[in-house]
Amino acid sequence: MSSEIAVQCRRVRKEFGNGAGKVMALRGVDLDVRYGAMTLLVGPSGCGKTTLLSVIAGLLNSNGGEVKVLGEQVERLPGGQQILFRRKNLGFVFQQYNLLPALTAAENAAVPLLTTGTPRRKAVRKAKHLLATLGMGERANALPKQLSGGQQQRVALARALIHEPRLLVCDEPTASLDAETGHAVMELLAAEAVRPDRAVIVVTHDNRIFSFADTIARMDDGRIVSVESARRNGDRAE
Amino acid sequence: MNFVALKMLTGDRAKYLGLVFTIAFCTFLLENQSSIFAGIMKRTGSQIADVTDAEIWVMDPKTEYFEQTKALKDTDLTRVRGVEGVEWAVKLFKGNPVARTLNGKFDVSICLGLDDATLAGAPRKMLLGSWERLREPDSVVIDKAGYVLLFPDEPLQLDRTLELNDHKATIVGISDASAPFASYPVMHTRYSQAVNFVGRERTQLSFVLVRPQPGGDPLELSQRIEKHTGLRARTSDQFRWDCVLYYLRHTGIPLNFGITIAIALIVGVVVAGQTFYIFTIENLKQFGALKAIGVTNWRITGMIMLQALTVGAMGFSLGSGMCAAFFAITLNNLPTRGMVLMWQNAIGTGVAILFVVILASLISIRRVLVLEPAEVFRG
């Protein structure tokens, strides 16, 4: 049912450059991302995963096709409203964490609330509570440089979830982590992020985390080549 | 988000302190040099400012500044006195006799001959002795700096004798006269005596000092004097500015100071701009993440401006403090006496520093504004 679809892509195209240097990054992508599920976008490097994620997140505009995110054609919104839409509805987890080095873990996690004008104390209090849920309660006052990679990714996860977004986009969240830490982060992501009213998209080429997916969309050369439903924790349904 | 901006700024302590001290030294240099320049220019009118009795100076029509005098006719004094609105007018002589002490030390001096009857124009700030003693024969009042120049390492003492162009003179007072442009001793004496010190010429009258009647407008009166006598009449303020402008136009002083000030500005802009730019570039990924999260360009511009203004305010305060301390230390040194940090210089420097930090931040802001938030996904 379309009401269960959080993200709907139809014939989405994206080109970079022009003339002889033109590169077709997306060549008519069709994809549905469901609420309450973790969708993995997988494929070899340069196949267009990150470009598709950027288009879905409203960070890049497509050159054709239609992208509906949470029922809204975000690309058609004026610039300011696009940013507000993103601020309110989207959470981001980046490969390199991108935490602000001068802020503590709790302050970093509180940033999305601060952007909406939430008073600092209130935002940091909520961030500390969320960090405790993610097993980082004792490290809430630590600076990023005092945290391990896995801990930093947990802080990034807290930052992505603190404003309770309806769509979480994660770009290679385990790429900078060892296998054990990556697994732990994915467990946390699956347990804390996936909810009935939220969709989670994870771009990855780390096949060790495929077992966490509800859906795996494989990309190659700018196209979705297959979409497989899967049962989490390794039991593939089909 | 202001909190985030300030934490980002102070988080990298080395760059933060580097920026603050760059602005501080830029401020110090700008305030210091502009204040010394203003102080030197102010000195060109010191002897005019020290005359507090009269408000108008009358001189030869071709006179452009204090040091340049052409003697008036004695009858000119009478003509000025005849102008309506003049309460009194007295003569003033200015000459440059050589002062020589008994131990052979000598220097050219600025000798001001005051009206014998009224002593109008006598120095009012006396450190030792009394200007009223100028009525005594061969008496002079010398300024402290001149005394120290002629009697180095000796205590201030009255009734010492010296020679002015081979005429004996007795020191009856030591004044705190404002520092002249050239570091010559400033001597005050009676008019009749001064002309003897310098040597007889056909005419000696350098200036006529005029006091308007109570309630009279000095500017209006000076215009009336010019109209009736054909002489040049300037209010004290006008004459001081004439001196300043003369030196500005005819010496290399403004160019010298201008070069220093320009270098301070350029170095300030380049170093602060470069450091701030590097600081921003190093935070580019974080700014990209903020843009992706939903922070608007306006907000990011505000954050960078806040960082720049904070650094500017701290650097300016520190630099102004350093400059004020410098002048507090040097205020009582004879060569630098009267040089102070003027509020006009502080405000001017503040505006220049604002320009420096805004320019520095604009370069950085541009880099952040053109940053595509999608860049944040590229590792």
pLDDT tens digits along B154-182 = 999 999 999 998 889 999 999 998 888 88
Q: What residues contact residue B361 under an 8 Å CB cut-off, 6+ apart? A: B276, B304, B305, B307, B308
Short-list A208, A159, A139, CA closest to A180: A208
Short-list A156, A158, A173, A169, CA closest to A209: A173
Residues 254-283 of B with CB under 8 A from A: 283
Evaluate the CA torsion angle A17, A20, A23, A29 in order and state its sign: positive
Determine the pLDDT at residue B328: 92
Any chain A CB within 8 A of the CB of B1?
Answer: yes
Any chain A CB within 8 A of the CB of B295?
Answer: yes
Any chain A CB within 8 A of the CB of B373?
Answer: yes
Whole-angstrom Cα distance, residue B117 to residue B40? 34
CATH number of the domain residue A156 falls in: 3.40.50.300
Among A41-45, A134-138, B203-207, B277-281, whose mean pLDDT is lowest?
A: B203-207
- Establish if A196 belongs to a structural domain: yes
- Establish if A172 belongs to a structural domain: yes
Determine the pLDDT at residue B327: 92
Q: In the structure, what pLDDT confidence band is assigned to residue B283 with cuts at 50, 70 and 90?
A: confident
Determine the pLDDT at residue A186: 87
Q: In the structure, what pLDDT confidence band is assigned to residue A237 with cuts at 50, 70 and 90?
A: very low
Task: Answer with the residue of higher pLDDT: B203 or B153.
Answer: B153
Determine the pLDDT at residue A2: 44
Distance from CA of B1 to the nearest CA of A (A): 6
Distance from CA of A146 to the nearest CA of B (A): 14
Determine the pLDDT at residue B252: 85
CA-angle at A185, arms to A234 and A74, nearest 5°: 90
- Decide if A96 and B293 are in contact by the 8 Å CB cutoff: no
Burial B248-277, CB ≥16 within 10 A → b, else e: eeeeeeeeebeebbeebbeebbebbbebbb
- Establish if A163 belongs to a structural domain: yes
pLDDT, tens digit (0-9, with 9 covering 90-100), for B292-324 = 888 888 888 999 899 989 999 999 999 999 999
Determine the pLDDT at residue A238: 37
Instruction: Record the pTM.
Output: 0.76
Among A53-57, A155-159, A222-226, B11-15, whose mean pLDDT is lowest?
A: B11-15
Q: Exposed/middle/buried for A191, CB within 10 Å: 0-12, 13-18, 19+? A: exposed
Any chain A CB within 8 A of the CB of B114?
Answer: no
- Establish if A167 belongs to a structural domain: yes
pLDDT, tens digit (0-9, with 9 covering 90-100), for A75-115 = 888 878 888 999 999 999 888 888 998 999 999 999 999 98
In terms of residues, how long is chain A? 238
3-state SS assignment for residue A177: coil
pLDDT, tens digit (0-9, with 9 covering 90-100), for B218-274 = 999 999 999 999 999 999 999 999 999 988 888 888 888 889 888 888 887 788 778
Whole-angstrom Cα distance, residue A123 to residue A103? 13
Per-residue pLDDT at B275 exceeds 70: yes
- Establish if A14 belongs to a structural domain: yes
- Residues in chain A with CB shorter than 8 Å from the CB of B373 are 59
Nearest CA in chain A to B292: A59
Among B286, B294, B372, select the one facing A115 at the smallest CB separation: B294
Per-residue pLDDT at B369 exceeds 80: yes
Determine the pLDDT at residue B370: 84
Q: Are B222 and B119 in contact (CB under 8 A)?
A: no
In chain A, % of residues over pLDDT 90: 50
Q: Are B121 and B207 in contact (CB under 8 A)?
A: no
pLDDT, tens digit (0-9, with 9 covering 90-100), for B333-346 = 877 887 888 899 89
3-state SS assignment for residue B348: helix
Q: In the structure, what pLDDT confidence band is assigned to residue B139 with cuts at 50, 70 and 90?
A: very high
Q: What is the mean pLDDT of residues B364-375?
A: 83
Count: domains in chain A: 1
The count of CB pairs under 8 A between chains A and B is 83
Give me chain B's average pLDDT, please: 88
Q: Are A191 and A21 in contact (CB under 8 A)?
A: no
- Establish if A238 belongs to a structural domain: no
Q: In the structure, what pLDDT confidence band is assigned to residue B378 with cuts at 50, 70 and 90?
A: low
pLDDT, tens digit (0-9, with 9 covering 90-100), for A154-193 = 899 999 999 999 999 998 888 878 888 888 888 888 887 8
- Establish if A149 belongs to a structural domain: yes
Which residues constitute the domain of residue A84?
Answer: 2-229
- Establish if A76 belongs to a structural domain: yes
Q: In the structure, what pLDDT confidence band is assigned to residue A133 with cuts at 50, 70 and 90?
A: confident
